[in-house]
Structure 1
Amino acid sequence: MGIMSYLRERMGKILAFVIGLALFAFIVGEVVKSGGQFMRGSANTIGEVNGQDISNDDYQKRLDQNVKNMQQQSGQAASPQLTAYAQEMTWNQLVSQNILQKEIEKLGIVVGVDETKDMVQGKNLNPQIVQAFGDPKTGEVDRARLNMFLTNLRSAKPGDPMKEQWTAFVEQMIEAKKAEKYTALVRNGLYINSLDAKDDYEARNKLVNFKYTVLDYASIPDSKAVPTDADYSAYYDAHKAQFKNAQETRTFEYVAFNAAASAADSAVIKTQMDKLAGDFKTAKDDSAFVQMNAETKRPLTYTRKGQLEPKLDTVMFSSAVGTVYGPFVSNGSYEIAKLVDTRVGPDSVKASHILLNPATEGGVDKAVAKADSLKKLIQGGKSFAELAKTFSTDKGSAEKGGELGTFGRGAMIPAFEDAAFNGHKGDLVVVTSQFGVHLIQINDQKGSSKVVKVAIVDKPIQASNATQSAAYNKARSFMSNLNGGNFDEVAKKQGLQIKTANDVTAMATSTMGLDNARKVVKWAFDAEKGDFSDQVFDLENQYVVARLTQIKPEGTLPLDVVKPQIEAAVRNEVKAKQLIAKLELASNGASSVDQVAQKVGAQAVPVQNIVFANPVIPGLAAEYKVIGSVFGSGLHKVSKPVQGEHGVFVFSVDNFVNPAPLTNAVREKQQIQQMLVQRADNLIFDALKDKANVKDNRAKFL
């Protein structure tokens, strides 16, 4: 059962993790989306990289596989958050492959058969394989387990999901290795010379002591510094590079109407669960009761202390069999739990098995009969190991005489686990599972602790139809009163709070206050500025009506769009002109900063041991321009006014303290090289990405 159960029950999760991360070893950053272009392209083109189309069919195929893998890994149904993450992961996989493909082909980078084999089962295992098959404590890889897995893969039939997942992983592992080689080539071309090392050493070790006085921007009231259009234009032109929008974004306002379960709804569900709790106490078949009444169909298995949620764990491990606990609230549901059984059992079991396939044996009955016959042969003296090699369809364990090794609770499927843990050392047990008929030999059992079997029935706390209808009708009433520009007026009249979703991207699935906002986002990217929605959006537990207030296109944003965000900075520019004039007047004839400070009614502040690499003035903040000016200044001279982040400064340098001569340029070079290498992957991918002209049309389809 080891490789069979491990593969079927566990490897899906491991492979999902492997596939999800292997290719991303070299993916850095988020690919620039071209939101304003998303309506262009053919009906099946979801994007474009280097002039090459990415088809929606290819994207959807990989997306479906990634979602499936992530569900297996997490053990949860596909949530909006999981789906959104899978969408970005899938897009980045396809984009990265296309971006790097041409560069890799141009350089002739390949990964050979022997190199691939070495990454899968040789001395240089892929890190994700090490993580999947290694001991977290020691880092040592369980070679036997890895080899069994690979053996089972080779014997798997074509079309087996695990085989397909493994093939996809190996292909992506090879692509990742090629990308790793490419980035290694670029990194090896990086070079730091002695002058770089000397400059960096001085920037971190040369000290300066100086004295300054500053006039804060806050010293001038805002009413005395009103920017003109010319001021805005001048600032915008000087800082235009800062206003480049990587992708189109949109801002919308909305009002939300709560449709979550009310206290009355919760009370109704609790009443239903109270009745179920009474029925649960007298139920004869607890498993059937769970299957008929629970929202989540959980198998009845024995659990150790600490495996249940704390409040339930305490009750179940201190109560008599038959005890029903609840209803209690857990994860948004009412739950009732029944203690079905308790026992003292082993902590781990060492077992072997022979697996028979009912399909090839003529049905389950015949497979069970054959297992019984094998059991009698073993009881009569035949070797279990030899019969396993001959008859077991689990070839991985069959090669080892059916041995599965030692496993704890939760490692095997329920039917197999119950047989192995409830029996005794030396027992031969025949059980049927979804994988076939097993003849299990219990070789050893270790440890001893109390375990409990708990049946749980749950019912989500959901809003009633009446609650949902009332919220929907309020939303419809609000929307019906809207016309061209009265959104604010109607909201105020009805006592509704207007919320804002700022700078939303075309592929966003959630915004501030809206967890599942995809419908609203799609509407926003089809609307014009000032439009309000002509429908009520049903977003899980709330109904939403929205109005589009701003569109920020891809590229350099115009002045009218960025004007609100630069208002404070432009006002400081206006204040700076006044403060500079004041300090220039005070500096005339002054021979020290103290005299300047006295004239403007400020203080002269001494500063000690400042380095260029850390331009922070104590008590203020980072002042790059000021510290840069200080290090470029002569000694004992009153500086011209310098416009900083906090205000306008005048300073005088007392002295510089030079560090000891650099004696180990090699070590300094290595340190700088290491920092540069750490940034290299980002810079490489960004450069290739900009050159590739990536177009993201996913919002058209998703």
Structure 2
Amino acid sequence: MGLMTFLRNRAGYILVFAIGFAIVAFLVGDAINVGKPFWAANQKVVGSIDGNEISIDEFGPKVEQGVNQFKQQYGGSANAQMTAMAVDQAWNAELAKALLTKEYDRLGLNVSEDELLDLLQGANPSPLIKQYFSNPQTGQLDRATLMNFLKSKEPQALQQSAMLQEEIKNQALQTKYTNLVRNSVYVTSLEATDEYTNRNKLANFKYVSLDYTSVPDASVKLSDADYSDYYEQNKARFNNAQESRGFEYVTFSISPTAADSLAIKNQVEKIAADFKLAKNDSLFAAVNSDVKVPYTFLTKGKIDPAVDSVVFALPAGSFYGPKLSGNSYKIAKVVDTRFSPDSVKAAHILIDPAKVGGEDKAVKLADSLKGLIAKGGNFAELAKTYSVDGSKDKGGELGTFARGTMVPEFENAAFGGSTGDIKVVKSQFGVHVIKIEKQIGNSKVVKLAYIEKALSASSKTQAAAYKAASTFLNDVKGKDFNKFAQEKGYKVAVADKVTPTQGFAPGLDNPRKLIQAAYEADKGDVLPEIYNMTDAYVVARLTSVNPKGTLPLEAVKKEIEPMVRNAVKAKLLKEKFEKAGAASLDQIAAKVGRTVNPVQNIVFANPIIPGVAQENALVGSVFGAQPGKVSAPVQGDRGVYVFSVDGFTNPAPIANMFKQKEGMLLSLGQRSLSAAFQALQDNAKIKDNRVKFY
């Protein structure tokens, strides 16, 4: 345990890229999305920033560390989405580091040695120091542990210390840069007044609406001019921040058939029968279970809810299952139950067998120390003398911990004893002399021998699905993919706007290899392989290649079709209103067969029409209108509207102009940071080849 344990526990948090990214994430956001062609790139180059190449040899370990962090954070094993997140995290950190470092040098920003020393050990240390060296129970900085870490000469400690100090410097530079940008932002009194008015001025009005759904889609014929008009009027919406691609695909299910399910059920019932008679419960469970559950006492809520809700009510010796829950069968033997502390406060002395001549001598020394302590010996002094753990400087104190924190041998001793007990146990770290100082809380725990068997497809089912996919892949080449699939009775699915590094695609749970192939193909190509998802084989064809920049009309034509149709309907509905030609809303409503709808207390900053939706054009028009006049028809998102304003209620004057400006500055400052980083990115030469590797 000790310092090396501390380093192992903290290693993932001290790595440069992880901390750096967390700090500059507010700068990066969605701005960092660069999809560049990769086919001319060096085989080991993940990307380059202003000519500085990033090798897969240095980038890969950072991605791996990121995956491990996400596994710890979210639990379970790594998956495509975790990997994609880790790849993005590592890339964003590289991008931020390179671009911001150049900007710091240009602006003359630096951190002196005195500043760094103060951030490490001073009265107001870096937030990173507070985060990683604070006592979890008290929340106070543990300076003894910090100094032990900084003074250590162990190679791993030196490496981690250097990384941490570098990241503290980076954070300090980022703070200086942030303050510099934010201090350049200013809010005028006129801007503050406008913002206040937009959020507090109230409008009361009435409207009559004709919904787009009142015009049947079949009655609307769209022309090329309709598409072109809409495209030109909304061209800014079609800026593609990064290259994306689209593909269509057919899936061939490898979900278990009824026969597979029956076979697995029979297998599980046989396992259950043998499990009841097994002499070594833990060994039998370990050999037969697809999911490994520690053979130790568990608190409620640690296993599948269907099992958890039952086994905690059963006495020791009970047998439960097989129970089909989710996609697997569960079987459990309740080996033991008891009431146990929720947490334990303990201290220990850790003896390294290698330093005392072997495990036998280590145990003898531990027994001798236990005897001395039982006779009144000072545990803290003995810990300082004999322990190899970092806690020895605190008299062996480990603080308070819950189940699942310590290795099983240590946990069983600490939670299985009583307050005041001195215990000797062996673990992977050495031989421990444990003093149980306090036990807190009391709740039921159970020790289970647990088996879980997944409901999966048989090899026969998988082979049949693969054969069908292979036949389709061979036969569809040179044919109309969609038409041929439908002729064969297969459903065609579509994935649009797939970016190079994303870890998901509609309907696909493991699409990375397919996405990589899509970025190596030309538009119209049937991708060369059968791609294996968790429960299906997939055959796909690349349908679109959308480069970075403003997309052409043809690339968005299908996407904008509903909006174009509504625009054409809007012309028809406007004509209907104009033909009504009445002087009042009531008359207009009568002529078009609709009702007049009153609306109260709408503000410009929240353009929601109760019972309808957000209608920006309508609310914007209302706040620009004169009371008492019937408006011209207004084209909205849900339909066309005619309205009349009853009146406005102006807010009271701003009570505190400074506070109003301060609130706006917070939001404006955040946007300015993102804008500043976007400007750095726009002026940099960035090549992103990640899709080649991940």
Q: Give the shorter-chain TM-score range.
A: 0.7 to 0.9
Closer/same/farther in 2, CA of residues 518 and 304 from structure 1, 3 Å limit: closer
**Greater CA drift, 56-65 or 294-303:** 294-303
Amino acid at match of 2:674: N
Q: How far apart are the structure 2 equivalents of 1:512 and 1:231? A: 30
- The residue that corresponds to 2:524 in the other structure is 530
Closer/same/farther in 2, CA of residues 214 and 348 from structure 1, 3 Å limit: closer
- The residue that corresponds to 1:56 in the other structure is 56
Amino acid at match of 2:503: T
SS in 1 for 2:540: strand
SS in 1 for 2:543: strand
- Aligned partners of 2:205 and 2:643 also within 8 Å: yes
CA shift for structure 1 position 304 = 4.1
- The residue that corresponds to 1:464 in the other structure is 458
Q: How far apart are the structure 2 equivalents of 1:90 and 1:637? A: 58
- The residue that corresponds to 1:697 in the other structure is 689
Closer/same/farther in 2, CA of residues 14 and 268 from structure 1, 3 Å limit: farther
- The residue that corresponds to 2:478 in the other structure is 484
- The residue that corresponds to 1:148 in the other structure is 145
- Aligned partners of 1:333 and 1:459 also within 8 Å: yes
- Aligned partners of 1:20 and 1:66 also within 8 Å: no
SS in 2 for 1:250: strand
Closer/same/farther in 2, CA of residues 212 and 460 from structure 1, 3 Å limit: closer
Answering whether residue 559 of structure 2 is matched by residue 565 of structure 1, we say: yes
Closer/same/farther in 2, CA of residues 610 and 568 from structure 1, 3 Å limit: same
CA shift for structure 1 position 536 = 1.7
CA shift for structure 1 position 256 = 0.9
Amino acid at match of 1:453: K
CA shift for structure 1 position 696 = 1.8
Q: How far apart are the structure 2 equivalents of 1:411 and 1:210? A: 62
Amino acid at match of 1:93: A
Amino acid at match of 1:76: G
- The residue that corresponds to 1:337 in the other structure is 332
Closer/same/farther in 2, CA of residues 616 and 267 from structure 1, 3 Å limit: closer
- 1:423-470 Cα offsets, whole Å, 9 max, x none, are 455554332211112233445556665543322234443332212111
CA shift for structure 1 position 472 = 0.8
- The residue that corresponds to 1:194 in the other structure is 189
Q: How far apart are the structure 2 equivalents of 1:150 and 1:26? A: 31
- Aligned partners of 1:13 and 1:74 also within 8 Å: no
- The residue that corresponds to 1:260 in the other structure is 255
- 1:479-503 Cα offsets, whole Å, 9 max, x none, are 2322422433432333221111122
SS in 1 for 2:463: helix
Amino acid at match of 1:45: V
- The residue that corresponds to 2:68 in the other structure is 68
Counterparts of 1:261-276 in structure 2 under 5 Å?
261-276=256-271
- Aligned partners of 2:343 and 2:439 also within 8 Å: yes
- The residue that corresponds to 1:158 in the other structure is 155
Q: How far apart are the structure 2 equivalents of 1:305 and 1:593? A: 64
- 1:273-301 Cα offsets, whole Å, 9 max, x none, are 44444444444444444444444454422
**Greater CA drift, 67-76 or 521-530:** 67-76
Q: How far apart are the structure 2 equivalents of 1:693 and 1:386? A: 61
Closer/same/farther in 2, CA of residues 351 and 571 from structure 1, 3 Å limit: closer
SS in 1 for 2:510: coil
Q: How far apart are the structure 1 equivalents of 2:100 and 2:343? A: 48
Instruction: Select 1:541's aligned residue among 535, 540, 554.
Output: 535
Closer/same/farther in 2, CA of residues 130 and 463 from structure 1, 3 Å limit: farther
Aligned identity (percent) is 48
SS in 2 for 1:30: helix
SS in 1 for 2:433: strand
Closer/same/farther in 2, CA of residues 342 and 149 from structure 1, 3 Å limit: farther
CA shift for structure 1 position 185 = 1.5
- The residue that corresponds to 2:676 in the other structure is 684
Q: Structure 1, unaligned stretches of length 5 or more? A: none
Q: Structure 2, unaligned stretches of length 5 or more? A: none
Instruction: Select 2:296's aligned residue among 292, 301, 314.
Output: 301
Instruction: Select 1:496's aligned residue among 490, 494, 506.
Output: 490
**Greater CA drift, 606-615 or 396-405:** 606-615
Question: What is the number of residues matched between the two proteins?
Answer: 693
Closer/same/farther in 2, CA of residues 467 and 170 from structure 1, 3 Å limit: farther
Closer/same/farther in 2, CA of residues 28 and 378 from structure 1, 3 Å limit: same
Amino acid at match of 2:67: V
- Aligned partners of 1:251 and 1:550 also within 8 Å: yes
Amino acid at match of 1:47: G
Answering whether residue 417 of structure 2 is matched by residue 418 of structure 1, we say: no
Closer/same/farther in 2, CA of residues 564 and 410 from structure 1, 3 Å limit: closer
Amino acid at match of 1:141: G
SS in 1 for 2:43: coil
CA shift for structure 1 position 417 = 2.1
Closer/same/farther in 2, CA of residues 249 and 368 from structure 1, 3 Å limit: same
- 1:583-623 Cα offsets, whole Å, 9 max, x none, are 66776xx8766777788787777766554444556665555
Instruction: Select 1:327's aligned residue among 311, 322, 330.
Output: 322
- 1:121-166 Cα offsets, whole Å, 9 max, x none, are 6554555665666688x9x51434x643652564362136xx7556
- Aligned partners of 2:248 and 2:540 also within 8 Å: yes
Answering whether residue 77 of structure 2 is matched by residue 85 of structure 1, we say: no
Closer/same/farther in 2, CA of residues 134 and 461 from structure 1, 3 Å limit: farther
Answering whether residue 449 of structure 2 is matched by residue 455 of structure 1, we say: yes
Amino acid at match of 2:683: K
Q: How far apart are the structure 2 equivalents of 1:407 and 1:218? A: 61
Q: How far apart are the structure 1 equivalents of 2:96 and 2:340? A: 52
Closer/same/farther in 2, CA of residues 593 and 379 from structure 1, 3 Å limit: closer
Amino acid at match of 2:459: N
Amino acid at match of 1:440: I
Closer/same/farther in 2, CA of residues 521 and 67 from structure 1, 3 Å limit: same
Answering whether residue 102 of structure 2 is matched by residue 102 of structure 1, we say: yes
Q: How far apart are the structure 1 equivalents of 2:657 and 2:443? A: 63
Amino acid at match of 1:401: G
- Aligned partners of 2:20 and 2:170 also within 8 Å: no
Q: How far apart are the structure 2 equivalents of 1:447 and 1:639? A: 69
- The residue that corresponds to 1:172 in the other structure is 167
- The residue that corresponds to 1:521 in the other structure is 515
SS in 2 for 1:511: coil
SS in 2 for 1:78: coil
CA shift for structure 1 position 356 = 1.8
Amino acid at match of 1:70: F
CA shift for structure 1 position 513 = 1.0
CA shift for structure 1 position 176 = 3.1
- Aligned partners of 1:347 and 1:408 also within 8 Å: yes
- 1:640-659 Cα offsets, whole Å, 9 max, x none, are 65555455566666665555
Q: How far apart are the structure 2 equivalents of 1:79 and 1:662? A: 52
Closer/same/farther in 2, CA of residues 75 and 34 from structure 1, 3 Å limit: closer
- The residue that corresponds to 2:6 in the other structure is 7
Q: How far apart are the structure 2 equivalents of 1:426 and 1:661? A: 68
Q: How far apart are the structure 1 equivalents of 2:644 and 2:438? A: 83
- The residue that corresponds to 1:397 in the other structure is 391
Amino acid at match of 1:494: K
CA shift for structure 1 position 514 = 0.5
- Aligned partners of 1:349 and 1:420 also within 8 Å: yes
Amino acid at match of 2:335: V
- 1:347-399 Cα offsets, whole Å, 9 max, x none, are 554443222222233332333333344445556665443332222111x2222
CA shift for structure 1 position 242 = 1.6
Closer/same/farther in 2, CA of residues 277 and 107 from structure 1, 3 Å limit: same
**Greater CA drift, 449-458 or 644-653:** 644-653
- Aligned partners of 2:83 and 2:503 also within 8 Å: no
Counterparts of 1:269-284 in structure 2 under 5 Å?
269-284=264-279
Q: How far apart are the structure 2 equivalents of 1:432 and 1:512? A: 51
Closer/same/farther in 2, CA of residues 454 and 152 from structure 1, 3 Å limit: farther
Instruction: Select 1:669's aligned residue among 640, 661, 664.
Output: 661
**Greater CA drift, 463-472 or 176-185:** 176-185
SS in 2 for 1:189: coil
SS in 2 for 1:399: helix
